[in-house]
Structure 1
Amino acid sequence: MTGADADQQVFQQYRGLLISVAYRLLGTAADAEDAVQDAWIKWSAADRSQVTDPKAYLVRIVSNLAMDRLRSTRHQREVYVGPWLPEPILTGGDAAETVLEAESVSMALLVVLETLSPLERAVFVLKEAFGFSHAEIAEAVERSEAAVRQAAHRAREHVRARRPRFTADRTHRREATERFFTAAAGGDMNSLMELLSPDVTLWTDGGGKVRQALRPVVGATTVASWFAAMGTVPYQGVEPADMRAEMAEINGGPGMVLSAPDRVLATVTLDFDAEGRISAIHNVANPDKLGAVGTRTPHSVRTH
């Protein structure tokens, strides 16, 4: 095996981990792939004779590339048309996935991570999702250990205040999700109202490419009416009879993929409160963000 082959083999060994880190840091599968490709270029050009820990070295490269990308895209997200939601990914198929791994790619958590600084986000992800020590993270993000500890504390408090941990088990969430979509397809307002928290919030991301609500839709009655209409009126110009809705595991939890004969139209994921009612709904319809789901290729959410 040549040196180049060995270098590529080492990179491929950690590629899945790097994608997992980059996706949690950037919130889009496309940007994560780009960051990992850039990491490969840097790895190929580096003096690897000085690298004693390839895993740590590669995580450092991709973390810094992701933080740079976050800083450069911040303005784009500030002027985005309507709510900005992460790019959904299909997950599942891995029996070893833990609740922590699934939660760390949940739509609700990724939305909260958007409100952190790039440094806070990187520190939080590397510590909470991947279990790196403060010393390892300090080396990865090229900051002092004290600065990393401060950033970790700020990020943890910020996330805790805005994002409760999963409270409903997977079985309950899947059953409630199935009931929700059955009720929506049948226009059953009463069933929808039973499933929704009184102050449920619907976030819709069309990115200005397709017509969606430009502000969050709040309240059980309004949200129930929104979904009850889906079975009776065209959606993005597609008649209900020509749409297909299928359950899928999206970002670590049950969700729905809505499709036309020729394309994916949207994904819908649900978040639950302590009583097991639906507290938030994330509806991604921007076609630029449906590529990962459109390929029907599951992404691993493994953190090691």
Structure 2
Amino acid sequence: MSITSAAGTGWLDPSLSAIMSERRQLINLAYRLLGSLADAEDVVQETYTRWYAMSRQQQEAIESPGAWLTRVASRICLDQLDSARVRRERYVGEWLPEPLPDHREWTSGGVPADPADRVTLDESVSIAFLVVLDSMTPAERVAFVLHDVFRYPFAEVAEIVGRTPVACRQLASSARRRIDASRAPAAPASQQAGIVRDFKQAWEAKDINALIGLLDPDATGIADVGGLVSALLHPIEGSEQIARYFLDIAVRASGMTMTERMVNGQPGLVLQLGEATTAVLGFDIAGDRIKRIWAVRNPDKLRPWTAG
């Protein structure tokens, strides 16, 4: 993104570097709030548009431009979260957040190479975490992310959300309870990677017994297709049903390749047919069993995984 002067004035902005240095923070915030990199980029673009729509005098009167940008971006996200619930009612099948590769794997054809557009990958962007965030009310989500993830004081959160600091504290507390209730004892990263590798090998070998053995008996499989590709529109429940479904894919998808990749900071799999990425799989692993598999197949959400 390149902006060298305030809109309609022609004067060079001496604080441009300081203003634009906030971009990565805003991208990180908006992605966690919306679960979509494309939407996050739109929010940041709109935030800067509003900044440069102000006069020079108006900008200079703002004591902390970074705080102003955060407030505006957060409010735009809050509005989008309110309208997203209406859009989700029209969404075909299950909705999952847009998966992100490790920043070292982002490609020129997908996510821009500018480091300011990269999302910092930690627990707060894992698929499991974002799925729980999506179950919250917009106010809960914004209050929790701003306070617990980005460490904004409740007085500032209250100004953004339009509630009292006490109410925002309660919103964040409610959200925190949801997060804690969803957490299973996390397996070490190396163990998670090993289980994903075993799943990949069992899938490639079409070994249904090995697949079942890697899945928790009450495991759930969820696919996000958005009505753009064929797949089951409802979750699959149970280890045997999931194993049979994946085995059927292996039989039908001749030429499919699977690659172990990091998905939102966690070990996952990327499926390709030729040069096209057809699915990104995220895993929720507790102990030595897979509890959940999230398969994003909506091509609109696979942009960061598209080569070239």
Q: TM-score per shorter chain, which class?
A: 0.7 to 0.9
SS at match of 2:136: coil
Q: Is the 2:121–2:264 Cα contact (8 Å) retained in structure 1?
A: no
Cα distance, 1:201 vs structure 2 = 0.1
Q: Is the 1:7–1:44 Cα contact (8 Å) retained in structure 2?
A: no
Match of 1:52 among 63, 66, 69: 63
Cα distance, 1:34 vs structure 2 = 0.4
Match of 1:281 among 282, 293, 303: 293
- Structure 1 residue runs of 5 or longer lacking an equivalent are 95-99, 235-239, 297-304
Does residue 130 of structure 1 match 2:150?
A: yes
State the one-letter code of the partner of 1:278: I
SS at match of 1:278: strand
State the one-letter code of the partner of 1:259: Q
State the one-letter code of the partner of 2:175: A
* TM-score in terms of structure 2 length: 0.86
Match of 1:249 among 262, 273, 281: 262
Alpha carbons of structure 1 residues 6 and 225: separation in structure 2 relative to 1, 3 Å: farther
Match of 1:271 among 267, 275, 284: 284
Residue by residue over 1:48-70, the C-alpha shift from the partner in whole angstroms, topping out at 9 and shown as x without a partner, is 21222222211111110111111
- Residue 9 of structure 1 aligns with which residue? 17
* TM-score in terms of structure 1 length: 0.87
State the one-letter code of the partner of 2:229: V
Residue by residue over 1:37-91, the C-alpha shift from the partner in whole angstroms, topping out at 9 and shown as x without a partner, is 0011012123221222222211111110111111122111122111111111112
Cα distance, 1:267 vs structure 2 = 0.4
Match of 1:26 among 23, 29, 34: 34
State the one-letter code of the partner of 1:200: A
Q: Is the 2:260–2:267 Cα contact (8 Å) retained in structure 1?
A: yes
In the alignment, the residues of structure 1 paired with residue 233 and residue 270 of structure 2 have an alpha-carbon distance, to the nearest angstrom, of 21
Cα distance, 1:233 vs structure 2 = 0.9
SS at match of 1:86: coil
In the alignment, the residues of structure 2 paired with residue 207 and residue 215 of structure 1 have an alpha-carbon distance, to the nearest angstrom, of 12
Cα distance, 1:229 vs structure 2 = 2.7
Q: Is the 2:124–2:149 Cα contact (8 Å) retained in structure 1?
A: yes
In the alignment, the residues of structure 1 paired with residue 22 and residue 237 of structure 2 have an alpha-carbon distance, to the nearest angstrom, of 42
Cα distance, 1:133 vs structure 2 = 1.9
Tell me the C-alpha RMSD between the 2 structures. Answer: 2.1
- Residue 304 of structure 2 aligns with which residue? 292
Alpha carbons of structure 1 residues 17 and 210: separation in structure 2 relative to 1, 3 Å: same
- Residue 300 of structure 1 aligns with which residue? none
Cα distance, 1:207 vs structure 2 = 1.0
Using CA pairs under 8 Å that are at least 6 residues apart, name the structure with larger relative contact order, 1 or 2.
1
State the one-letter code of the partner of 1:147: A
State the one-letter code of the partner of 1:277: R
Cα distance, 1:93 vs structure 2 = 4.5
Residue by residue over 1:108-167, the C-alpha shift from the partner in whole angstroms, topping out at 9 and shown as x without a partner, is 111111111111111111122212221232233343211211211121122322x20561
In the alignment, the residues of structure 2 paired with residue 287 and residue 20 of structure 1 have an alpha-carbon distance, to the nearest angstrom, of 22
Q: Is the 1:184–1:229 Cα contact (8 Å) retained in structure 2?
A: no
Alpha carbons of structure 1 residues 43 and 276: separation in structure 2 relative to 1, 3 Å: farther
In the alignment, the residues of structure 2 paired with residue 116 and residue 174 of structure 1 have an alpha-carbon distance, to the nearest angstrom, of 29
SS at match of 1:6: coil
